[in-house]
Chains A and B, each alone.
Chain A
């Protein structure tokens, strides 16, 4: 089978350049930014935690001092008696969000497959934007503070946001196919980190007007993005009559499986949903049972490792601005701007470590070394001094060492498992396995909260 594979390899590489139409560019940019916006609105919540918790609690002075007057200016909001309880509730909200997000991921892949991807994605973006608006802005404008209301809204938000990733990945899979996946996906999967940076930037600009405006800005930009996606996205080349990808590419699966996906945390999900789409063109996908998939060598190990990693990653993601402003007394807007460096480190780390492991053809050593350094840098970070430049540098280094292995594990899964004899050619097994890993990861993150 060597000759046909070699022959087919050439056209795929040439084809990557030749078939890049303006449609491809637009699809790339639209999916990139729609996922970035979803991530940005998640990030907004983490960035305004300090403001929200001071909004929900009365002023706290030493017990000997008399209470501040006027009462409605300083003490009237007693949703939580003190800042510690408010923080606990904020952590609970994060956990709820992650759990409903994990559940939603399972459902959304199936839904997106059966319904039009464009409708699902724009519906998800617009309705998630509305929910975030209710959560942050409307409750403040109406001065309606209620714990159950917040919890319910956040559960719904988790479910709606989970529609984003499967849809964007499926659309990218339709347009870019397996051959160009290595390079294009590597570039594309920076979208989550870009979203974080965008969210942090927007929030820090608007925070001085009140945290409700941070939510308003990200929600309305996300809504606008949903509208633009609805009008401008072509879910597959079929829609404009271009040839469908995938028919001539089964033979290059093996080479591509070796190429690491420089994906973000959730890159493994892209395989699951990409393969659901490709199942139409494959003749007979041999699905593998859930328990069989678990018993494949390395799956359990990778799942647990990924769970631990995702725990750390999401702890940083959700709590970094809060920690910075509480520990060092920095203003919340400055803490937000500094937390951007963590994501920058993550982007660089994912790219460079992917390249290194690609060159070395070995993943485990790179992973192990990077995680060791990650431990060291986390330790160093907890001792970092009260100085912004030094803190930013250490934060970037930490992001480098945590984001790197995170991406690598998700890409290593697709590569190594695709090579195993039991599941060669069975794309559904890949989906199940990566679904297990990502689900475990999310649960690990949720538990960590």
Chain B
């Protein structure tokens, strides 16, 4: 995705939709700063070029290689923040695991059998099986009791 020389004064909000980008070029734009959450979700980004005055998002620790030449700063090879030296990975609550969410960002996704809000739920409830057993039991008990008890009942 080539956005160089587009006279951007600030990161456009529509950029957030381009999360599948692998290469992003923002050089030669009069950008003053990269807001903190600009690159949320850019998990595939492998090469980011920004004006040399700006830092790589997530800091230099989030990238394997940071090179600065005259007109641009290149951030190459996004590192997985979950393996890295940063101590963010312990933040994930019970039943969830760290997953990358962009340069320097992590998200917590549920571990395998868990799902649902806050990963509280495990497995799926066998609704049909339960309903089937309960229905059969109810019908048979009702018929049995009706036969033995109420069939001879006279309504008062």
Contacts and interface: CB of A to CB of B under 8 A. Distances in A.
B142 A54 contact: no
A446 to B, nearest CB: 30
Interface residues of A, number: 39
Given A69-B108, A217-B130, A234 B153 contact: yes
A209 interface: yes
A77 interface: yes
A73 B109 contact: yes
Contacts, number: 103
Interface in B64-91: 91
A437 interface: no
> A-side binding surface: helix, strand, loop or mixed?
helix
A329 to B, nearest CB: 11
Contact of B91 (A22, A55, A68, A231): A68
A9 interface: no
The residue among A54, A69, A76, A227 with the most chain B CB atoms within 10 A of its own CB is A69
Interface in A203-248: 206, 208-210, 213, 216-217, 220-221, 224, 227-228, 230-234, 238-241
A224 B138 contact: yes
B149 A227 contact: no
A73 B93 contact: no
Contacts of A74: 93, 108, 118
B22 interface: no
B29 to A, nearest CB: 27
Contact of A221 (B107, B134, B143, B156): B134
A220 B132 CA distance: 12
Contacts of B101: 69
A208 B150 contact: no
Nearest to B138: A224
Interface string A72-100: 01101100000000000000000000000
B145 interface: yes
B91 A65 contact: yes
Contacts of A220: 130-131, 134
B118 A73 contact: yes
A23 interface: yes
B105 A231 contact: no
B149 A23 contact: yes
Interface in A231-283: 231-234, 238-241
Nearest to A57: B118
B122 A224 contact: no
A224 B137 contact: yes
A437 B126 CA distance: 45
Contacts of B138: 224, 227-228
A234 B142 CA distance: 13
B35 interface: no
A61 B155 CA distance: 64
Contact of A239 (B40, B105, B146, B156): B156
Q: Which 4 A-B pairs have the closest CB atoms?
A: A232-B145, A209-B125, A231-B142, A69-B107
26 contacts: A26-B145, A30-B145, A51-B120, A65-B91, A68-B93, A69-B40, A69-B106, A69-B107, A73-B108, A73-B119, A208-B122, A220-B131, A221-B134, A224-B135, A224-B138, A228-B138, A232-B146, A232-B149, A233-B149, A233-B150, A234-B149, A239-B150, A239-B153, A239-B154, A239-B156, A240-B149
Interface of B: 40, 91-93, 101, 105-110, 116-125, 127, 130-131, 134-135, 137-138, 141-146, 148-150, 152-156
